[in-house]
Chain A
Amino acid sequence: MPSNNEYRGSVDTMDPNKIIERWVPQYRKGLLEFIILLRLKQGTTYGYELALQIKEVTSIDVAEGTLYPLLNRLKRDGLVVSEWQTQEVGSPRKYYKLTPVGQDTLVIMKSVWSETHNSILKLVMQA
C-alpha cells in the first residue's frame, strides 16, 4: 500500500459541487442523440416540440439550438428523415421521422445502454 505521501499531486482541491455542476451537463449531453432517437421511436416530431420534451423528461438544461446540429448529423447518417409540413394556422414545421436504419441502430443503442447501465449500477452498489 502506498503511503499518504505517495498520493500527493493535486495542490488545489475543487469543490465537489462544482465538479458535479460540470459533470452532469457533459454526461447528459452525451446521451442526447440516444434520447432523440428514443423520442422519435414514439412518433414524428419537430425541433421545438423535441426540445420541450427533452427538457421535460430528462431535465437536461441544454440550449434548444444545439439540437439542430445533432438532428442534421442523424439525417446525414440516414437514421432520420425530415419533411416540411405547412399548417393552416401558425408557422411551417419540419417533422423528423425515424428510418428503418435508425430503428435498427436504436435497438443496438438500447442494448449497449442497458449493458453499460447494469455494469455501472453494479459498481455503484459496491461503492
Chain B
Amino acid sequence: MNEMFPISSETAQKVWDNFDRELIHKLKPLPEEERNDVRLEILSHLYESMANAPINASGDAQYHNEDVRLINAISNLGSPDEYLEPLIADILLYQKASKGNPVAIWNGLRNSAKKGLMHALATLVLGMGYFWVIMIFIMSLMHMVNPDVGIWFYPGGEVSLSFEAQPGATQWLTEWFSLVGIVGSALAYWGLSKLLSFFIAKIK
C-alpha cells in the first residue's frame, strides 16, 4: 500500500509500517475481504489526517514535519483497541451467525434475550426451532441404524417422534426419512441462522 500512501520521511515511514503491522495483526480474526476493507479505510483516514493536519499561525516548523503530523494523526484516531475491538466483534458476530456457527448462535440468542418481550419471543421461536432441527438431524442419523426411529402417524391424526415402533401407527417416509431429515434439518438450520442474523442486526 506504499504507492497508495506515499511518505517521504524515513522515520514517518517506519512509524506508518509499525502501525500497519499492528493493524494487520489485530484484524487477523476477520475474513480477508473485510480485513482488507477495514485496513484500507483506517489507513486512508490516517493518511488524510496526516496530509491535512492544520498548520499553526506561527508556521512552526514542527507542524510541517511529516513525523509529527503522523504521530498526531495516530493519536487523534485513538487507541486501536478502542475502535477495532467493537468493530471486529460486530462483523464476526454477524458473519458467524449467518454461517451457522454454534458459538455465534448462542451469543446471538443471549443478546436477543436481553431485548424485551418481542425479542424474548423471537428467542423462544428460534430456540425451539434449533431444538427441533437438532432433534430431527439426530433421529435421521439413528434411523440409518434402527429403521423404527422416525415420525409416526396415528389413525386419529396425532403425530409422534419416536425411537421405537408405535403399535397401530404408520411410519412417515420409512425409506427416505434419513435423507429427507438430514437435508431438511440442514436447510432449516441455514434458514434459522439467517433469521437470527437478521435479528442480531435489528437489535443493535
Within the complex, what minimum Cβ distance (angstroms) separates B166 from chain A?
Answer: 47
In the complex where A47-B41, A48-B45, A92-B40 touch, is A73 in contact with B204 (Cβ < 8 A)?
A: yes
Which chain A residues in 42-95 approach chain B with CB under 8 Å? 46-49, 51, 63-69, 72-73, 76-78, 84, 90-94
Within B41-78, the residues touching A (CB, 8 Å) are 41-45, 47-49, 51-52, 76-78
Q: How far is the CB of B194 from chain A (nearest CB, A)?
A: 14
Binary interface profile of B, 71-95, with partner A (CB < 8 Å = 1, else 0)? Answer: 0000011111011101100110010
Nearest CB to that of A86 among chain B residues? B4
How many positions in chain A have a CB within 8 Å of any CB in the partner chain?
23
Q: Which one of A63, A68, A77, A78 contacts B41 once the chains associate, using CB atoms below 8 Å?
A: A68
Secondary structure of the B side of the interface? helix
**Chain B: number of interface residues, binned into ranges:** 20 to 34
A93-109 with Cβ < 8 A to chain B: 93-94
User: How far apart are the CA atoms of A67 and B37 in the complex, in Å?
Assistant: 15
A63 touches B83 (CB 8 A): yes
Shortest Cβ gap from B29 to chain A (Å): 15
Chain B 142-177 interface mask (CB, 8 Å, partner A; 1/0): 000000000000000000000000000000000000
- Inter-subunit contact B83/A65 (CB<8 Å): yes
Task: Tell me whether A64 and B45 are in contact in the complex, defined as CB-CB below 8 angstroms, given that A76-B204, A92-B40 are known contacts.
Answer: yes
Interface centre among A51, A63, A68, A91 (most CB of B within 10 A): A91
The CA-CA distance from A79 to B203 in the complex, in Å, is 14
Expressed in whole angstroms, the minimum distance between the Cβ of B23 and any Cβ of chain A is 11
> Once the chains bind, are B204 and A66 in contact (CB under 8 Å)?
no
- Kindly list chain A residues whose C-beta atoms are within 8 Å of the C-beta of B94: 76
30 residue pairs of the A-B complex, CB under 8 angstroms, read A46-B48, A47-B41, A47-B45, A48-B44, A63-B76, A63-B78, A63-B79, A63-B83, A64-B45, A64-B78, A65-B78, A65-B83, A65-B84, A66-B78, A66-B83, A67-B83, A68-B41, A69-B90, A73-B204, A76-B204, A77-B201, A77-B202, A84-B40, A90-B51, A91-B5, A91-B43, A91-B47, A92-B40, A93-B44, A94-B40
Binding site for A on B (CB under 8 A): 4-5, 37-38, 40-45, 47-49, 51-52, 76-80, 82-84, 86-87, 90-91, 94, 201-202, 204
Interface residues of A (CB under 8 A from B): 46-49, 51, 63-69, 72-73, 76-78, 84, 90-94
